[in-house]
Amino acid sequence: MERIPVLRMGSLLLITIQVDMHDKLALQLQDDVTTRIAEWGSKGVLIDISSLEIVDSFIGRMLANIAAMSRVLGAETVVVGMQPAVAITLVELGMSLPGVRTALSVEAGMELLYGAGAGFRTGSEDDRPEA
Amino acid sequence: MSDLAEIISRNQDQIRADWIRTMGKSVQRPDLISKTELDEQCETLLQAIVAGAKGGDSANIRNAGWSQAREFLEGISASRARQGFSPIEVATFVLSLKQPLFAAIRQDLARGQDKLFEAIWTATELLDGLALVTTEAYIATREELILRQQQELLELSTPVVKLWDGVLALPIIGTLDSARTQVVMENLLQTVVSTNSRFAIIDITGVPTVDTLVAQHLLKTITAARLMGAECIVSGVRPQIAQTIVHLGINLEDVMTRANLADAFALALQMSGRTVVRKASLAAESKGILAGPMNKQES
């Protein structure tokens, strides 16, 4: 069964959605994300949907759900790289994803999460020699 | 019916020569169309009329038999509309055929009064119908032109300009209706992606009134931009508009608003961690200029 990979980047999780989402895949992803956050103690979740061309209300709700679940587990969610057509569709569907933070690119999303608080910094950064 | 076709085909050269003469200077427009071209058009139309009349029903030019004549007329009317002919000139092109055609009919059917009247009535009906076809085609072409210009105006009136690295401005001039919102939104979102901008300032100084519908369209645009990861700042809110918004109970609390573009720009710069500082050396320089003569006075 195909699966959307959940990658670990320090204290963040990176999820890149590149295939058409269907119900089973979405539920599997919710399951995976929550398990990984608990397992690895991640503080942030980056969901890259830049290659997603089509969305429906189901995917919109899934994104909102993942964000809400992660927040419960103590992790911030940032959805990055939404295409203009996708954004317009979601607005027309009446889904403004109120609890979800957004960024233009993965880089901007990481900046947003790292900038959000010192709690995100990993131990290795503290070990750096002072400039 | 085929009487008419016969008469025309028999006297075709005579009719055409008369026709072009009757058309006169005002309709010929030698500045817009050459004589040979006009001659050719007359010939083609006459032949098409003969073909149509031969086919039978000359009273009803909507019939299939007249499709050749109709298509030809529509074609030349459209091209004339684009060239800048007036509607009168376009319609007179066909109507001026009446006199030479009637002359030819009279010449041919001088003996039988009833037949003559009938032939003339058929010809009148036919030519009036063809003239109406030209007018319709003329108007259709103009309408198409207006529609296209409207479309162009729509796109021209919603430019997205880059103010700074990562800061866009979108001055909206005119009323925001749903068709326009669509264009504005698409333009803005595309530019946000292509320039990788985090801030977009929507300036509504040029929007005459803001009602609930306009506000809803604005909110849609702002939400779509936010979904993509860009923050929107609304600027150019006039005092009257601020009052209207509050009176109408429109919720703009989640939206950053400023009174003018400069304030919004300053806010965007501040939020992206930039500050604008007056150059110190410039201040010192001006101080130096001021101090110069004063020093001299003292000494």
> Which residue segments constitute the domains of chain A, with CATH numbers given?
6-120 (3.30.750.24)
Are the Cβ atoms of A84 and B190 closer than 8 angstroms?
Answer: yes
Q: How confident is the model at residue A116 (pLDDT cuts 50, 70, 90)?
A: low
Q: Which of B56-70, B145-159, B178-192 has the lowest mean pLDDT?
A: B56-70
* Cβ–Cβ contact B226 with A under 8 A: yes
The β-bridge partners of A76 are A44
Average pLDDT, rounded, for chain B: 83
A 10 A CB-CB count for A78 gives 24
Query: What pLDDT, in 10s, does the model give residues B85-95?
Result: 888 888 888 88
Q: What pLDDT was estimated at residue A45? A: 93
A 10 A CB-CB count for B98 gives 18
**Residue from B227, B231, B253, B255 whose CB has the most chain A CBs within 10 Å, to mutate:** B227
The upper half-sphere exposure of residue B87, i.e. CA atoms within 13 Å in the direction of its Cβ, equals 10
Are the Cβ atoms of A91 and B227 closer than 8 angstroms?
Answer: yes
Q: Write the burial class of residue B118 (CB in 10 Å: 0-12 exposed, 13-18 middle, 19+ buried).
A: middle
Tokens for B200, please give them. Answer: 């977009």
Tokens for B255, please give them. Answer: 């939206």
Tokens for B274, please give them. Answer: 């930039």
* Cβ–Cβ contact B179 with A under 8 A: no
* CATH classification (class only), B2-154: mainly alpha
Query: What pLDDT, in 10s, does the model give residues B251-298?
Result: 888 889 999 999 999 999 999 888 888 887 666 666 665 554 444 444
Distance, in Å, from the CA atom of B131 to the CA atom of B246, rounded to the nearest integer, reads 58
Average pLDDT over residues A73-82: 92
Q: Judge whether residue B210 has pLDDT over 60.
A: yes
Contact call for residues B77 and B4 (beta carbons, < 8 A) = no
* Cβ–Cβ contact A109 with B under 8 A: yes
* Cβ–Cβ contact A89 with B under 8 A: no
Q: Smallest Cβ distance to B196: which of A79, A92, A105?
A: A105
Query: B-chain residues within 8 Å CB-CB of A84?
Result: 186, 189-190, 192-193, 224, 228
Residue located via tokens 């030479």: B100
Q: Smallest Cβ distance to B229: which of A80, A90, A96?
A: A80
Distance, in Å, from the CA atom of B197 to the CA atom of B195, rounded to the nearest integer, reads 5
Identify residue B88 by its one-letter amino acid code: I
Residues 6 or more apart whose CB falls under 8 angstroms from that of A5 comprise: A15, A16
Q: What are the domain boundaries of chain B?
A: 2-154, 161-271
* Cβ–Cβ contact B186 with A under 8 A: yes
Say what the pTM is.
0.61
Q: Which of A39-43, B111-115, B207-211, B279-283 has the lowest mean pLDDT?
A: B279-283
Distance, in Å, from the CA atom of A91 to the CA atom of A88, rounded to the nearest integer, reads 5
Handedness of CA B236, B237, B240, B244 (dihedral sign): positive
Cα distance from A103 to chain B (closest Cα, Å)? 4
Q: Own/partner pairs for B137-142, CB < 8 Å, 24+ apart? A: B137/B73, B137/B74, B137/B75, B137/B77, B137/B78, B137/B81, B138/B77, B138/B78, B138/B80, B138/B81, B138/B87, B138/B90, B138/B91, B139/B87, B140/B78, B141/B77, B141/B78, B141/B81, B141/B82, B142/B81
Query: What pLDDT, in 10s, does the model give residues B129-178?
Result: 888 989 999 999 999 999 998 888 777 777 889 999 999 999 988 888 88
Q: Judge whether residue A22 has pLDDT over 70.
A: yes
Q: Judge whether residue A72 has pLDDT over 70.
A: yes
Are the Cβ atoms of B192 and A84 closer than 8 angstroms?
Answer: yes
Distance, in Å, from the CA atom of B166 to the CA atom of B192, rounded to the nearest integer, reads 8
Identify residue B91 by its one-letter amino acid code: A
Q: What pLDDT was estimated at residue A1? A: 63
Cα distance from B72 to chain A (closest Cα, Å)? 44
Query: A-chain residues within 8 Å CB-CB of B225?
Result: 87
The β-bridge partners of A80 are A48, A103
Q: Which residues of B134-163 are buried (b: 16+ CB within 10 A; e: fewer)?
A: bbebbeebeeeeeeeeeeeebeeebebeeb
Angle between helices B12-28 and B2-10 (to 10 degrees): 80
Q: What pLDDT was estimated at residue B28? A: 64
Q: Which fold has domain B161-271?
A: Transcription Regulator spoIIAA (3.30.750)
Residues 6 or more apart whose CB falls under 8 angstroms from that of B75 comprise: B137
Distance, in Å, from the CA atom of B137 to the CA atom of B144, rounded to the nearest integer, reads 11
Tokens for A33, please give them. Answer: 């994300």
Average pLDDT over residues B63-83: 84
Tokens for B110, please give them. Answer: 């001088």
